[in-house]
Amino acid sequence: MNGTPRLEFIKVLLSGSRFRIPSAFVGHVIDDNHGKAMIFLADKFWHIKVQKTEEGLFFTDGWEEMIKAHGLSEGCILSFCYEGNMVFTLKVFGHDACRINNFSINSEGFKNRNAYVEFNGIGEDSNRLGQIPSANNCDETNVASPSVPPAHSLSGIKSEDETSCTKNIIQYKKKIHRTNLVHGRIGVPLWVCASTGLKSSHDVTIRGPDRRLWTIFFSYSPQTPRLGKGWSEFCEHHKLEIGDLCIFTHVSKRDKLFDVQIKRASHERASTSYEDEV
């Protein structure tokens, strides 16, 4: 996923509660398979069980619910783009071979909580199906969110300019320094770790401005939590330079997903309010 060509496959949708992954494609994902996949469709993430049988590798539990929720019918053409780590982006084409962008959402399909993850970045349990503000619509002043403790109460150190548009949004900013590019890592504020459950080292997913998903290794320590392996590829792909500003918005605790918006240094006034990165 990071800097390498992404694999894709296309298949016609048939009726049924499971969907077979083409045999020729299985070899590309077999090492990543851990029994479940995430499918990103129309701004929603779905957790789908992956099951291997004598017949092949299948999407099973959650698959039928996803199809019904979007009103898809037999004969639609499905195009899967593999993002890595069992994450797929799904595009749908109708019987006329034209891509479907507007789906007739069927609320009945959302009743299976094991399949459904989020709607426009808000979990189903919140019972809120509206839009949330995007990163570039957020107030960029220092605002302490009622649900997010201020940085000094958790770490005792100065943090970057952090913002929360609503009590459901956790957002922070990082100015790119030379060390971030040379050493391929960037720090994560301790208050963000505490607020999002990042308390151990593992992979997280970040979604760039182009909506592409990237797997980045999060290394946790009580002093210097940071993003590491995979960050260099993200920087290279987006041509990040010293002084650019990355705005991280937490989207899903369960999926460990962050959206990242980028503001170029050429469009920003010089600022001295950011600390050097580790």
- Angle in degrees, CA 144, 146, 148, rounded to 5: 70
Residue 269 bridge partners (DSSP): none
Closest by CA to 39, choosing from 251, 196, 204, 255, is 255
Determine how many CB atoms are found less than 10 A away from the CB of residue 57: 19
Position 11 scores a pLDDT of 94
Exposure string over 12-45, b if 16+ CB within 10 A, otherwise e = ebeeeebbebeeebeeebeeeeeeebbbbbbebb
Residue 125 bridge partners (DSSP): none
pTM of the full structure: 0.46
Longest dimension (CA), the chain: 61
Determine how many CB atoms are found less than 10 A away from the CB of residue 227: 23
Show pLDDT as tens, one digit a residue, over the chain (278 residues): 445 567 899 999 998 899 999 999 998 887 777 788 989 888 788 889 999 999 999 999 999 999 998 889 899 999 999 888 888 999 999 888 889 888 876 655 555 444 444 443 334 433 333 333 333 333 333 333 333 333 333 333 233 444 433 445 789 999 999 989 989 999 999 888 888 889 889 999 999 999 889 999 999 987 889 999 999 999 999 999 999 999 999 988 888 899 999 999 875 544 433 444 44
Position 140 scores a pLDDT of 33
Q: Which domains does the chain have, with CATH numbers?
A: 7-120 (2.40.330.10), 142-267 (2.40.330.10)
Position 250 scores a pLDDT of 92
Whole-number Å distance between alpha carbons of 85 and 83: 7
Position 247 scores a pLDDT of 94
Position 19 scores a pLDDT of 95
**Residue 25 region by backbone torsions, left for phi larger than 0, else alpha for psi between -120 and 50, else beta:** alpha
- Residue that is written with structure tokens 């208050």 in the block: 191
C-beta of residue 37 within 8 angstroms of C-beta of residue 48: yes
Tokens linked to 162: 């952090």
Whole-number Å distance between alpha carbons of 94 and 98: 6
Position 168 scores a pLDDT of 58
